[in-house]
Amino acid sequence: MALLQNESPRIQFEYAPLSKSQRISLVWPIAYCCFCFVPGFSLRIAERRISTQAAYFSVDVFFCEILALFLPGIYAPLLLSICMFFDFVSGIVSTYYFRPQDIPYVTRSLFLLPFDRLARYGIVALLMVTLLGTINYLLRKAVNRRMRYKTARVLFLVTLILVSIDVWNRYRIYRDPDTVRMVLLRFPEMTLAKRWLFAVKQPSSGHGLAEQYSDSASERGLALLGNLSSRPDIVEILVESWGDDQGTITTKLEENYRTSAIARRYDVVTGTVPFWGPTVSGEVRELCHSTFGLNILHRNVQPPENCIPSVLAKKGYSTEAVHGYFGKMFDRSRWYPLIGFEKMSFKDALHKQGLSDCTGRYAFPGVCDRQISTWIGNQLAQAKGLEFIYWVTLNSHLPVPPTANGLNPAPCNFDSQVSNEQSLCSWFKLEYEVHQSIADMVERPDLPPTAFFVVGDHAPPFVDTGIRDRFSNSRVPFVLLIPKQVIKKQG
Q: Each residue of 277-319: pLDDT tens digit? A: 899 999 999 999 999 988 898 877 788 888 999 999 999 999 9
- Measured from the Cβ of residue 344, the count of other Cβ atoms closer than 10 Å reads 17
Q: Are 66 and 32 in contact (CB under 8 A)?
A: no
pLDDT at 322: 98
Torsion of CA 160, 145, 84, 115, to 10 degrees: 160
Q: Within the chain, what is the greatest distance between any pair of CA atoms?
A: 129
**Whole-number Å distance between alpha carbons of 53 and 41:** 12
Q: Is the pLDDT of residue 208 over 60?
A: no
pLDDT at 189: 52
Report which of residues 49 and 43 the model is more confident about.
43
- Measured from the Cβ of residue 305, the count of other Cβ atoms closer than 10 Å reads 11
Residue 350: partners with Cβ closer than 8 Å, 6 or more residues away: 322, 324, 367, 371, 372, 375
Average of per-residue pLDDT across 175-200 = 51
Query: 193-197, 245-249, 288-292, 324-328: which range is least confident on average?
Result: 193-197
Q: Is the pLDDT of residue 131 over 90?
A: yes
Q: How far are the Cα atoms of 229, 280, 309, 384, 385 from residue 318, in angstroms, in the given order? A: 20, 22, 9, 10, 7
Q: Is the pLDDT of residue 487 over 70?
A: no
**Whole-number Å distance between alpha carbons of 366 and 486:** 35
Average of per-residue pLDDT across 364-374 = 94
Residue ranges of the chain that CATH labels 3.40.720.10: 217-483
Q: In what order do the strands lie in the sheet with 233-239?
A: 266-274, 475-483, 450-456, 233-239, 387-392, 318-323, 343-345
DSSP letter at 395 equals T
Which is it for strands 266-274 and 475-483: parallel, antiparallel or unpaired? antiparallel
Query: Which contiguous run of DSSP H or E holds residue 311?
Result: helix 308-314
CATH 3.40.630.30 corresponds to the domain 217-483: no
pLDDT at 188: 59
Q: Each residue of 418-465: pLDDT tens digit? A: 999 999 999 999 999 999 999 999 999 999 999 999 999 999 998 887
Q: What is the pTM of this model?
A: 0.84
pLDDT at 321: 98
Residue 13: partners with Cβ closer than 8 Å, 6 or more residues away: none
Q: Are 238 and 279 in contact (CB under 8 A)?
A: yes
**Whole-number Å distance between alpha carbons of 437 and 111:** 30
Report which of residues 305 and 248 the model is more confident about.
248
Q: Is the pLDDT of residue 346 over 60?
A: yes
Query: 88-102, 255-269, 389-403: which range is least confident on average?
Result: 88-102
